[in-house]
Amino acid sequence: MGPVRVLLADDHAVVRAGLRNALTSLPGLEIVGEVGDGRALAEALAQLRPDFLLIDVAMPDFEPVATMRRTKVEYPALKILVVSAYDDEAYVIGLLEAGVDGYHLKDQPLADLQLAIQRILGGDRWISGPLVDRLVHRRPVIPMRTAPPLTRRQREMLRLLVQGCDNRKIAQTMELSVKTVEHHLTGLYRAFGVDSRLEAVNYAMRHPEVFAASGYEAAEPEIRPEAALTVLLVDDNMRYRQQLSRLIGRTYPATLLYEAEDIAEAVRLTEQVRPQLALIDVVLTEEDGIQCARRLKAISPTTRVVLISAYPDREFRRLGLAAGAVAFLDKKDLDAAAVRQVVEDALR
């Protein structure tokens, strides 16, 4: 068995040098690369395929929680140890919930860092001693009885927030002013009873139901339902997702509609809500909708997956059905009758 391949990520060269020196005394490790910002990290992960990531998440071009969550989805075998000067509870908990394997404070002894690496490689998780005491004795959070209902705009904004978008990116995506985004985020924080972006993201992770849109909301003329259905729409085009949501809502209002624009988001929602039906676009920007279907079926075998595409192709159809999809539909054929048939099949 070869050495454990380690990638160092910190925006300070002197810190990376210190981490490198700390690792030299540990046998079986090989440092395969060093990076100093989020973009370089993404490239290094794809090119080097390390086994272990030692990272200070306070780097340029990097949103900690969303990126770590996405990284664990894309590289599930990768071990991640965060080494940071920040000891904020919401920050630490957010990263642990995102899937990192350990959180180590920079002011702790070198021997503790080496022990943390060994423990994580052995299959354990690690939290620095001072953080353990604080987290154990933290004030319990009194949960809200139910998650507050959100408008479509708030849900879309929250979804972008979870992806790590800053206010300017949210404004650009939603075609709003930055001030309007700030105003809506303030209202969102108030609805959740939180004070920061990170706390809002953590709340959303604990309450996935906030992302669900009622079919009654999507269907402007109200129609009474026969039975409830949970539906996940996976498409990288926000406008098409909204169009399809309205079509499903009008055709069958008794739905809880969830939206995802990439595989990482679709996987997270499937793990949380186990949708009965998933409609997945075959082409997701630079990702593969067929791979997405395969991932979702592995998580939730009972989910009925229907692949959709603006470019129907026999090979796509063959691969999609092999991945577990029950149907392959041309987007231009998705009308009310087709949607009702898909929904009725899912309810059988």
In a domain, 141, yes or no: no
Comparing C-alpha atoms, which of 218, 288, 242, 310 is closest to residue 296?
A: 288
Comparing C-alpha atoms, which of 90, 32, 25, 80 is closest to residue 57?
A: 80
Q: In which domain, by residue range, is 63 found?
A: 4-136
Statement to judge: residues 68 and 119 lie in one domain:
yes
Q: Classify residue 77 by its DSSP letter.
A: T
Question: Does an H or E element contain 284, and which?
Answer: strand 283-284
In a domain, 147, yes or no: no
Answer for the pair 297, 303: CB distance below 8 angstroms, yes or no: yes
pLDDT, position 144: 42
Statement to judge: residues 223 and 194 lie in one domain:
no
pLDDT, position 229: 81
pLDDT, position 221: 45
Statement to judge: residues 231 and 325 lie in one domain:
yes
- Give the end of a domain, one of 136, 167, 183: 136
pLDDT, position 339: 81
Q: What is the CATH number of the domain that holds 20?
A: 3.40.50.2300
Residues 6+ apart with CB under 8 A from 183: none
Number of structural domains, the chain?
A: 3
Answer for the pair 233, 257: CB distance below 8 angstroms, yes or no: yes
- Give the end of a domain, one of 82, 108, 136: 136
Q: What is the CATH number of the domain that holds 178?
A: 1.10.10.10
Which residues of the chain register pLDDT less than 50? 139-145, 220-226
Distance CA 328, CA 172 (A): 33
pLDDT, position 48: 96
Distance CA 339, CA 344 (A): 9
User: Please, what is the average pLDDT of the chain?
Assistant: 83
Statement to judge: residues 277 and 329 lie in one domain:
yes
Statement to judge: residues 120 and 33 lie in one domain:
yes
Statement to judge: residues 126 and 15 lie in one domain:
yes
pLDDT, position 238: 84
Statement to judge: residues 51 and 169 lie in one domain:
no
Residue 337 φ/ψ region, left for φ over 0, alpha for ψ in the -120 to 50 degree band, beta for the rest: alpha
Statement to judge: residues 194 and 308 lie in one domain:
no
List beta partners, residue 257: 213, 231
Statement to judge: residues 90 and 163 lie in one domain:
no
